[in-house]
Amino acid sequence: MPRNVFADKHIVLGVTGSIATYKAVALASALVQSGAHVDVIMTESATKMVQPLSFQAITHRPVLTDMFSLMAETDIGHVTLGKTADALLIAPATANTIAKLALGLADNLLTTTALAATCPIIVAPAMETNMWRHPATQANIATLRERGVRIVEPEAGYLASGASGVGRLAAPERILTALRRTLTPQDWAGRRVVVTAGGTREAIDPVRFISNHSSGAMGYAVAEAALDRGAHVTLISTARHIPTPEGATLIPVESARDMREAVLNAIQDADALFMAAAVADYRPADVAAQKIKKSDDDLVLRLVRNPDILADVKQVRPARLVVVGWAAETDHLIENARQKLERKGLDLIIANPVPQSFGDGRVQATLISRHGEPRPLEPMPKDALAHLILDAVHTLVQQRNQTG
């Protein structure tokens, strides 16, 4: 998880009596492994689905089921739980519990804790399709949303009844993403950012293309981090193999010319552009209409220059736009990166030594701005680097918006 926002956080996990109750065990495990302190509250019906011992073995804390025994045996009453927690996550949440939450009922430890809670509440429903679509359930969901409860909507798929439809508990990754974003300071809220990712593909014929080693992982890490911090994100990407971060607006592209058009359109109402994509400098002059057949002769390709996207951005950028670029270099890293920053009018450039700039592992980077000395960083995962880049850009965006 970026910056491990779960570390040392107190999470109350509410578990209700759904056929998906067993999936909450995996959620508890993921949170504990991320360093969170997890208190599990189970409704009576949830204990019929999964034994409390399953959660206790993972969290190493007593599982809470009865309000009166809790008050008698410990100093952690329902009010204390709701006040000391950093977040209350209810997953899975049945239609019955959702209705109780909407009405403000407090007839068990979970609903009483929710009513007394001063922390953020996240609800992940799970139920049959008709129950989910019922007007009463939808009205209750709307009521909870109006009160600031974050809803992780159920997914479509195979249900316990044997039918298929919407109602499956959201995947653990989606639930944890919602919780992570709830716990992350929203310092980019209301900002609009554009992120490019992946290596462009320049066609040779219908089945072959010229590209590079860029995986797209850095761009996706920046997009995910910006979403976590509240930004509206437009992701312009060639990387089809990476799942789109939830909440991002994806614009799929292939070539440098495709990316140029998408970028120039997207930046008009943006606050920041993160040009993390590895854009091909050249493309074949002629693209064969049919697959080129192998022969005994050498194949010679004539290449022509692609448009320089950052140079074009420089000509049309809105006054408020902060532009961030990347430089992957084999030699003279700082010198070449600084020249690119000046030549293309960038506000910040991330300099990476090749081959460390490619792949999904740890990456070494140096941040270079228009003013000040280069800032070399220790090798780190790309998601951690993405947050450091956002930190550096945040002040620039604020300054640009104040003066613009």
Q: Are residues 171 and 256 in the same domain?
A: no
The encoded tokens of residue 83 equal 């006040």
pTM of the predicted structure, to 2 decimals: 0.90
Work out the end-to-end distance of the chain between its first and last CA atoms, rounded to an integer number of angstroms: 35
Q: Are residues 229 and 346 in the same domain?
A: yes
| Cβ partners under 8 Å of residue 25, min gap 6 | 50, 54, 55, 58
The encoded tokens of residue 98 equal 């959702």
pLDDT tens string 328-363: 999 999 999 999 999 999 999 999 998 655 655 789
291 among the known binding-site residues? yes
Q: What is the DSSP string of 71-93?
A: HHH-S--HHHHHHH-SEEEEEEE
pLDDT at 1: 39
293 among the known binding-site residues? no
pLDDT at 161: 74
310 among the known binding-site residues? yes
Q: Are residues 132 and 150 in the same domain?
A: yes
Confidence at 398, pLDDT banded by 50, 70, 90: confident
281 among the known binding-site residues? yes
| Average pLDDT of span 284-288 | 94
Q: Are residues 197 and 178 in the same domain?
A: no
pLDDT tens string 249-264: 999 999 999 999 999 9
Question: Does residue 54 have a pLDDT over 70?
Answer: yes
**Amino acid sitting at position 168:** R
% of the chain beyond a pLDDT of 90? 84
340 among the known binding-site residues? yes
The whole-angstrom separation of Cα 206 and Cα 11 is 52
Q: Are residues 172 and 222 in the same domain?
A: no
Judge whether 272 and 233 are in contact, CB under 8 Å. no
| Cβ partners under 8 Å of residue 225, min gap 6 | 2, 383, 386, 387, 390
Q: Are strands 272-275 and 192-197 parallel, antiparallel or unpaired?
A: parallel
The encoded tokens of residue 203 equal 């066609």
Q: Are residues 19 and 149 in the same domain?
A: yes
Helix (H, G, I), strand (E, B) or coil at 348: strand
Distances (CA, A) of 212 to 36, 73, 76: 40, 63, 57
- Among 183, 210, 239, identify where a domain stops: 183
The encoded tokens of residue 347 equal 């506000």
The whole-angstrom separation of Cα 369 and Cα 350 is 9
How many angstroms from the chain centroid is the CA of residue 185? 14
In terms of phi and psi (left: phi > 0; alpha: psi -120 to 50; beta: otherwise), the region of 216 is left
| Average pLDDT of span 125-138 | 96
Query: 278: domain CATH number?
Result: 3.40.50.10300
pLDDT tens string 157-202: 887 777 788 999 999 999 999 999 999 999 999 999 999 999 999 9
- Among 183, 218, 246, identify where a domain stops: 183
Enzyme catalytic residues: 212
**Amino acid sitting at position 259:** M
Q: Are residues 263 and 312 in the same domain?
A: yes
pLDDT tens string 134-169: 999 999 999 999 999 999 999 998 877 777 889 999
308 among the known binding-site residues? yes
Total number of domains in the chain: 2
The encoded tokens of residue 244 equal 């789109």
271 among the known binding-site residues? no
Query: 165: domain CATH number?
Result: 3.40.50.1950
Query: Domain of 142?
Result: 2-183
- Among 160, 183, 206, identify where a domain stops: 183
Q: Are residues 145 and 224 in the same domain?
A: no
pLDDT at 235: 98
Q: Are residues 205 and 276 in the same domain?
A: yes
Q: Are residues 363 and 230 in the same domain?
A: yes
The encoded tokens of residue 356 equal 């460390």
Q: Are residues 225 and 171 in the same domain?
A: no
Q: Are residues 239 and 134 in the same domain?
A: no
